[in-house]
Amino acid sequence: MPRLTRWFVKTALVYLVAALSVWIVEAAQTVLNLPLVIATLQPTYLHLFTVGWITQMIFGVAYWMFPRASRVRPRGSETLAAAVYGLINMGLVLRVIAELFRALRPGLVPDWLLTASALLQSLAGVCFVISIWGRVKEK
């Protein structure tokens, strides 16, 4: 398993645990009468799960298992794949921070943090497609 895949998969596992932990807190909100603001964490939970866990796991396994790009560079550009890892995680962490502060202390963090998060994540998607497209080929 290549080093970058190990990073993707381990980070995905961390997000899985984080997402389900947030889910527990969300479920505990009504049971334990916790502050209502916790309910606003639902989009954060969903994206920790779908982007952090599912999509990142797919990225890591695809980088590892898809057909070789060439003999010289079997997995294509490692720099581009590393950029995907950086961009998706920076984008997601930024979103979690921004959403959390928007719910708890509105106005404390600037709105452009969410915009930056959006750009980073969509750029990660584009970079991933560029890096993997050539490896989706008939044998």
Partner 1 sequence: MPRLSCWFIRAALIYLIAGFSLGALLLVQKASPIHPALWRLLPAHVEFLLFGWVAQLTMGVAYWILPRFRPAPVRGKQGLAWLAFGLLNTGVMLAAMAPVITAPPLVTLLGRSAEAGAALAFALHAWPRVKSTEVTLRRTT
Interaction site with partner 1 (CB under 8 A): 50, 54-55, 58, 66-67, 95, 98, 111-115, 117-119, 121-122, 124-126, 128-129, 132-133, 136-139
Given the complex with partner 1, which of 3 and 139 has the nearer CB atom? 139
Given the complex with partner 1, which of 11 and 55 has the nearer CB atom? 55
* Residue found by looking up tokens 């010289």 in the block: 72
CB of 33 to partner 1, least distance (A): 28
Given the complex with partner 1, which of 42 and 115 has the nearer CB atom? 115
Cβ contact 122:90 at 8 Å: no
CB of 49 to partner 1, least distance (A): 11
Cβ contact 126:76 at 8 Å: no
Cβ contact 91:115 at 8 Å: no
Structure tokens, 103: 């719910």
CB of 124 to partner 1, least distance (A): 8
11 burial level (CB within 10 Å; 0-12, 13-18, 19+): buried
